[in-house]
Structure 1
Amino acid sequence: MKLIVGLGNPGKEYESTRHNVGFCAIDSLANFLKCDEFQEKKKFKAMVTETNIGEEKIILSKPLTYMNLSGEAIVSMMNFYKLKPEDLWVICDDLDFPFGVFKIRLKGGPGSHNGLKSISTLLGSNDYPRFRIGIESRGEAETPREAKDFVLGRFSRKEEKTLAKTISNVTESLVFALEKSLGDAMNKYN
């Protein structure tokens, strides 16, 4: 069983912000896999849908806890389904990567990402795979305040075109990883 989580903030006001590329990617994956619509699961504080790839159950989720508390929703799902850290795949934005670039990591620290910090703290581990999508394009996020304003900002029309291609590539890499392995996906897409 795999739990694949796209990080973001719930609500219309955050829909097209840089911080919500995880939600965009998980929506794209759910669409590609022809999943049922996401349903709110109050016990998890998350939107959830499920599918199978071969014999493996795949749970897709969007936490409703807001970015900085993402770990609450994720750890509750992991405990319920009795999952190990390596069964959790997280999709999130990354200020440290250029816009349009994404990287697959098997594990690692959260860096400055508060959603990953929440997950790592509550999980007690950094040993979970993540698909990090670059959102930095102008070097505008030098201070914590500028970073907050930047990640909560919207994409320009030009950026939206690049983002669509990036999200498509991330979706393709997720499907490839599910069908083959994370290692194979890293070799092909990193």
Structure 2
Amino acid sequence: MADTWLIVGLGNPGPRYETTRHNVGQMVMDELAGRRGTSFKQHKAGARVAETWLRPGAAKLVIAKPNSFMNVSGGPVANLARFYGIGPERIVIVHDELDIPFDALRLKSGGGHGGHNGVRDVAKALGTPDFVRVRVGIGRPPGRQDPADWVLDPFSASDRQTLPILVSDAADAVERVVEHGLTAAQQVVHAPKP
């Protein structure tokens, strides 16, 4: 369907990971579904899915949280794309990004995966890197902490104060991409904060 978008938040399944930095993409899916009063249901593609609309009479949204671990997210994304007949140009992947400071967002389509194994697996499964990414900044770990441990830690107490705003801003960015296109969304999201 031409006016259907697949919006996927990357993360890890289960309560152990719910509040970790790596799961910020799934937090954004909860925000998008919550705004529309819809809930997630298990889908045979290997994900929890909420079907809804951007707003009445506008694009259909398939909001998804894969049941798989981050590094093997590609299978559920490709399965959902096939099931709904959605091409990569209408897929938005929301994920954490170490190389962007906490509380910042960047939007892009295509290009490399930047060492993000979830994005790498999605590109491999889809056979192309040409999908939109909403990159949610989590920043680099302080000192010598291993980035692999950092992403699996919960957000700090001070970060948790700002996290709801960041998640809301990321959900706004997804909605802008769907409604106005990537370039127009970038002009808003990448503009310097006043």
Give the structure-2-normalised TM-score.
0.90
**In structure 2, what is the equivalent of residue 39 of structure 1?**
41
User: In structure 1, the residue corresponding to 2:98 is in which secondary structure?
Assistant: strand
Kindly indicate whether the alpha-carbon contact (under 8 Å) linking 2:40 and 2:49 is maintained by their aligned counterparts in 1. Answer: yes
CA contact (8 A) 1:140 1:150 kept: no
Is residue 114 of structure 1 aligned with residue 117 of structure 2? yes
**Cα displacement (A) at 1:177:** 2.5
Aligned equivalent of 1:49: 50
Structure 1 residue 178: deviation in Å? 2.4
The aligned length equals 185
What CA distance in whole angstroms lies between the structure 2 residues aligned with 1:77 and 1:148? 28
- Whether the aligned pair in 2 keeps the contact of 1:7 and 1:91 (CA below 8 Å) is yes
Deviations 1:70-119 (A, max 9, x none): 00100011111222111110000001111111111122211111100110
Seen in structure 2, the aligned counterparts of structure 1 residues 176 and 33 have a Cα distance that, compared at 3 Å, is farther
**Amino acid in structure 2 at the alignment position of 1:153:** D
Question: How large is the RMSD of aligned CA atoms in angstroms?
Answer: 1.4
- Residue 32 of structure 2 aligns with which residue? 29
Unpaired stretches in structure 1, ≥5 consecutive residues? none
C-alpha separation in 2, matches of 1:89 and 1:32? 18
Which segment is superposed worse, 53-62 or 95-104?
53-62
Q: CA deviation at 1:26?
A: 0.9
Q: Provide the C-alpha distance between the structure 2 equivalents of 1:141 and 1:55, rounded to a whole number of angstroms.
A: 47
Q: Within 2, Cα distance between the matches of 1:140 and 1:20?
A: 22
Residue pair 1:177, 1:185 contacting (<8 A) in 2 also: yes
Query: Are 1:81 and 2:87 counterparts?
Result: no
Alignment check: 8 A CA contact 2:141 2:150 kept? no
The 3 A distance-change label for structure 1 pair 168 and 149 is same
* Per-residue CA distance 1:111-146 (angstroms, 9 max, x = gap): 11110011011111110000001111544467xxx1
8 Å CA contact 1:93–1:134 kept in 2: the answer is: yes
Q: How far 1:181 sits from its partner (Å)? A: 2.1
**Which is worse superposed, 63-72 or 160-169?**
160-169
Q: Distance in 2 between matches of 1:181 and 1:172?
A: 13
Partner of 2:134: 131
Correspondence for 2:23:
20
Q: Which moved more, 1:174-183 or 1:159-168?
A: 174-183
- 1:63 and 2:66 aligned: yes
Encode CA deviations 1:54-75: one digit per residue, 9 max, x unaligned.
2422100000011011001000
Q: 1:85 to 1:19 in 2, by over 3 A?
A: same
CA–CA distance in 1 between the matches of 2:120 and 2:111?
11
Structure 2: gaps of 5 or more residues: none
Cα pair 2:99 2:140 within 8 Å, conserved: no
Q: Tell me: CA distance 1:133–1:141, structure 2 relative to 1, closer, same or farther (3 Å).
A: farther
In 2, distance between residues paired with 1:120 and 1:31? 28
Give the structure-1-normalised TM-score: 0.92
Which moves more between the two structures, 152-161 or 46-55?
A: 46-55
Quote the Cα distance in structure 2 between the aligned partners of 1:111 and 1:172. Answer: 24
- In 2, distance between residues paired with 1:55 and 1:20? 28
Percent of paired sites with the same residue? 36
- Report the equivalent of 1:101: 104
